[in-house]
Copies of this chain bind each other. A is one copy, B any other.
Amino acid sequence: MAGSRFSYVKNYEIADPLLPGTFILARVDGRAFHRFSTEHEFTKPNDERALNLMNCAARGVMTEFNDIILAFGESDEFRHRSFFASTSLYNRRMSKILTALTSIFTSMYMFHWAEHFPQKALKYPPSFDGRIILYPSEQEVRDYFAWRQVDTHINNLYNTAFWALVQQGAHSTADAHAVLRGTLSGQKHELLFSRFGINYNALPARLRKGTLLVRENVTPAPSLDTASSKKKIKRTTMIVAYHCDVVGEEFWKGHSELLNP
């Protein structure tokens, strides 16, 4: 870096470390994906290809950053995916972590586009924005994921009913919104079943509960080679997808190591 008389401007870059000891939650949201999904003709209420692509991008980010141990994708083809990590990555510099993660998510999404949409070229580049939020304790992290899953459920139930009214019921979109306004959860279930024969609870869990990507430890098979048994066994991990409930205790009990690294 040049030691010229101009280099004083470097001092205006102020350090932005994240508070030590806190859990880091990063969310990445599609920018203007309403338009993006329309222009690229995503199917409604859920486009399986788009959901898979989001999960694929999230997996790519987790592969790049080993410290991310959990990612949650809502069953929505453009709403935010949430990552969680406990990390000393980049000395916890906020901008560095956040922009690298958002950029990798973006490039993974584009890189894998053609696999998931083989018939459809990108008309223009999609983009995302991101945000880091800190949580001091395990309880808040669990509640964060519970919050997103409850929200996923509410949105997906609404969208399922909405698009049934539009696509099968021949309602206008304005009309469909009017029909659903103020309805309770049970009434939407009933409407789906009675008018369209849809048993909401029988829909795939990945749509109702979102997708959780979990980094899990892999126990290496015991080696028969006595020489190598003295070597340090390298701890390896794999990323496993779940579509299970995270509001209750069960998932967390089965993954108690996640929040106690």
Please give the residue numbers on chain A whose beta carbons come within 8 Å of chain B beta carbons, in ascending order. Answer: 1-2, 4, 6-15, 17, 19-22, 31, 60, 95-96, 98-100, 102-108, 110-111, 122, 124-137, 140, 143-144, 146-147, 150-151, 154
A136 near B106 with CB under 8 A, answer: no
Contact B9 A147 (CB under 8 A): yes
Copies per complex of this chain: 4
Contact of A103 among B96, B102, B131 (CB under 8 A): B102
User: Can you list 23 A-B contacts with CB-CB less than 8 angstroms, sorted by A residue number?
Assistant: A1-B151, A2-B151, A2-B154, A4-B151, A12-B133, A12-B140, A19-B19, A19-B136, A21-B136, A21-B140, A95-B98, A95-B130, A95-B131, A96-B131, A98-B98, A99-B99, A100-B128, A102-B102, A103-B127, A103-B128, A104-B127, A107-B107, A110-B125
Given contacts A21-B135, A96-B129, A98-B99, 5 further A-B contacts (CB under 8 A): A6-B150, A21-B136, A99-B129, A107-B125, A111-B122
Contact B146 A60 (CB under 8 A): no
